[in-house]
Structure 1
Amino acid sequence: MRGLRVVVAAIGVLGLVTGLTAPAGAAPEAVAFTQATAVRGADGGHALSWASAAGSVRITAVTSPDATAGVELGQSGGSGALTAPPLPAADRWYFRLTPDRGDPLVVADRHLGFASAKNFRDVGGYRTSDGRWVRNGVLYRSTKLSDLDADEQRRLTGLGVVKVVDLRNLVERLEEPDRLPAGVAHQVADVASLEHGVRFHDQALMTLLEAIAAGLLSGSSDLGQSVGYPFMVNFVGADRAFRDFLTAVATAPGPVVVHCSAGKDRTGWATAVLLTLLGVPSEVVEADFLASNTYTGDPRAVELSWLRAAQNQVQRLYGGFDAYLRQGIGLDEATIAALRAKFLV
């Protein structure tokens, strides 16, 4: 976030990220699976596990989340595990779990393994509080895409990505512009932009002092981040950026990538906002946030106290996440409904 700090130092605004609890929507139809994961091994094989009330489950490897036919891997109990051997080369393998009763579910390893973008991963594959699942292959979160090589650009096309939403500031974008394949749109949603003025929902000095005190109390290793996260709720310019991001995802005709520089702060907040809107439990939102420590290779890349500082700011300013979505970010009901329809199964 070095470039971000340069732009916002004058107003005391820097990082981002969070996750809270969204109100549950109408009860969906029963989904057979209560747990399901796919983890790719070093040899290219996948370890699958699932839990359901079904009597049996058929497992099929497919190269698209919408495909119904592929490589049949076998059938097992309603709850079980299976190790899939390495499969032929493909941009990505998904695994369709088809129970003997109830709806099928598609799972995949969340991490894409981009060498130049270590934190490139799928936002899908999580179960919501009301028993639905967030679709894979709709939104990816990432580090900067300025170092993509030719094969990684080809893979981006293979994933069907139609748009990249860039949360970085002008300096960052000029220093390290994204390298994208032809046909992929690039949209700027600068979280620290001063284009629309320097305005806050609450007194900036008060937010600054409270954030520093909370950071000291929590033992934060980076007080700059402890200050930056709540400012991403308080700064009006950030609201516009997050609204633009969510609107882009809701309206895009295909998969979207959202990224900043390291893919952990601004991108972490954007992801947490979306997952919370979809009804993913707060502890799962937190786990997705903390996964940046694993994927970046830096065990101190993010701290939970930073995320919770933003959560606390949402509660203080709006009294809850639902009001933050509508009154802070400014999402309308149609966009919220479109996002839930697009992601939830």
Structure 2
Amino acid sequence: MKFNNYLLLTIPICLLIGCSNNNVENEMKIIHKDNIAYQSEDHRKIVLDGTSNTRELGGYKTEDGRSLKWGVLYRSDKLSELTDADQEYLLQLGIKRVIDFRSSEEKQNEPDQLPSTLKYIEMPIEADGAIRPKVEAILKGDLNEDVGAILVETNKEFISDFSGVYKGFIESLIENQEPTLFHCTAGKDRAGFAAALVLLAVGVPEKIVIEDYMKTNKYTEETIQDYINKINLYSLGSVDAEILRPLLGVEERFIRAALDEIKQKYGSVENFIRDELKIRDESIIELKNFLLTES
């Protein structure tokens, strides 16, 4: 039992902070902005050896008929396992800035491996403090709870506790107007809300925003299943790792919790950006001019 207890305390932490899938398929390194043939949904994922949830945000249509430029905005999971080839690929993509939403502990344990020429910006969101003890309790059988409800509350906290960080994120895009990659650890919660916020800010319909959010499940399916299998194996059957699946991927209710919180408190995302984040309408026009192109 001592061996199993060790697993219960250590494996959940690994799962929550994100795990990369290094079994990368033999796919060519695509530079979307330079090749219109690859500017499509089928080629949105950026294939790296050291990540499993990196993607291009170009091509999404806005309600006014424009679309996001390719080669300008990327979202990802942690970059601590990037190979030299991965780092070279980031440079080929034209990325100039990396924004890291991870906590101080996460960054200390697994620092980003980046080319020295990239600008590295820290915008920490310490949102996992209540998650780990709950997951450990659930796995040990001490707590009977819907684990997905944990991330519903976490997404609400992005609005109540971390709006200042997301204000800084949007303002950073406006002020610098350089190709940017932003990430957290798993690339799905903190980075997922950041992607949703900026897409909604420039006029991408909510339906499309949620579809982008849900792509995490497609891109990380193999990685998630691999870790569930490992937990079941190494716990000698004493743990049903399937109960963790909601935490390892995404569900629509997670992002809807954040969006519903915004609508309940502010009426609309536009009001939230203007009244809570204090970002002027003129600045959002600048953001649109930077990110959008005529279709």
TM-score (norm 1): 0.62
For residues 107 and 295 of structure 1, the distance between their equivalents in structure 2, rounded to whole angstroms, comes to 16
Contact 1:272 1:285 (C-alpha < 8 Å) held by counterparts = yes
Instruction: Quote the residue 1:222 is aligned against.
Output: 148
Instruction: Quote the residue 1:174 is aligned against.
Output: 108
Q: Which amino acid aligns with 1:226?
A: V
Q: CA deviation at 1:260?
A: 0.2
The alignment covers a number of residue pairs equal to: 231
SS in 2 for 1:133: strand
Instruction: Quote the residue 1:274 is aligned against.
Output: 198
**Residues 183-210 of structure 1 deviation map (CA, whole Å, 9 limit, x = unaligned):** 10110111238xxxxxxxxxxxxxxxxx
**Residues 130-149 of structure 1 deviation map (CA, whole Å, 9 limit, x = unaligned):** 22111111010000101100
Structure 2 residues not aligned, in runs of 5+: 1-11, 18-24, 128-144, 225-244
Relative to structure 1, is the Cα distance of residues 337 and 220 closer, same or farther in structure 2, using a 3 angstrom cutoff? farther
For residues 52 and 84 of structure 2, the distance between their equivalents in structure 1, rounded to whole angstroms, comes to 16
SS in 1 for 2:67: coil
Relative to structure 1, is the Cα distance of residues 277 and 296 closer, same or farther in structure 2, using a 3 angstrom cutoff? same
Q: CA deviation at 1:220?
A: 5.6
Q: Which amino acid aligns with 2:187?
A: G
For residues 113 and 283 of structure 2, the distance between their equivalents in structure 1, rounded to whole angstroms, comes to 29
Instruction: Quote the residue 2:268 is aligned against.
Output: 320
Relative to structure 1, is the Cα distance of residues 260 and 44 closer, same or farther in structure 2, using a 3 angstrom cutoff? closer
**Residues 261-315 of structure 1 deviation map (CA, whole Å, 9 limit, x = unaligned):** 0000000000000111111111111100000011112474001111111111101
Structure 1 residues not aligned, in runs of 5+: 7-41, 46-61, 68-92, 97-105, 194-218
For residues 121 and 62 of structure 2, the distance between their equivalents in structure 1, rounded to whole angstroms, comes to 29
Instruction: Quote the residue 1:155 is aligned against.
Output: 89
The answer to whether structure 1 residue 343 and structure 2 residue 291 are counterparts is yes
Contact 1:133 1:344 (C-alpha < 8 Å) held by counterparts = yes
Contact 2:69 2:291 (C-alpha < 8 Å) held by counterparts = yes
Instruction: Quote the residue 1:295 is aligned against.
Output: 219
Relative to structure 1, is the Cα distance of residues 284 and 111 closer, same or farther in structure 2, using a 3 angstrom cutoff? same
Relative to structure 1, is the Cα distance of residues 137 and 317 closer, same or farther in structure 2, using a 3 angstrom cutoff? same
Instruction: Quote the residue 1:254 is aligned against.
Output: 178
For residues 107 and 64 of structure 2, the distance between their equivalents in structure 1, rounded to whole angstroms, comes to 39
TM-score (norm 2): 0.72
Contact 1:260 1:267 (C-alpha < 8 Å) held by counterparts = yes
Q: CA deviation at 1:94?
A: 3.6
Instruction: Quote the residue 2:142 is aligned against.
Output: none
Instruction: Quote the residue 1:241 is aligned against.
Output: 165
Q: CA deviation at 1:330?
A: 2.5
SS in 2 for 1:257: strand
Contact 2:31 2:92 (C-alpha < 8 Å) held by counterparts = no
Q: Which amino acid aligns with 1:326?
A: R
Relative to structure 1, is the Cα distance of residues 220 and 277 closer, same or farther in structure 2, using a 3 angstrom cutoff? farther
For residues 253 and 303 of structure 1, the distance between their equivalents in structure 2, rounded to whole angstroms, comes to 31
For residues 143 and 43 of structure 1, the distance between their equivalents in structure 2, rounded to whole angstroms, comes to 20
For residues 215 and 40 of structure 2, the distance between their equivalents in structure 1, rounded to whole angstroms, comes to 18
Alignment of 1:45-124 (within 5 A): 65=33, 93-95=35-37, 107=40, 109-124=43-58
SS in 2 for 1:129: coil
After alignment, is 296-305 or 123-132 more displaced? 296-305
Instruction: Quote the residue 1:231 is aligned against.
Output: 157
Q: Percent identity?
A: 28
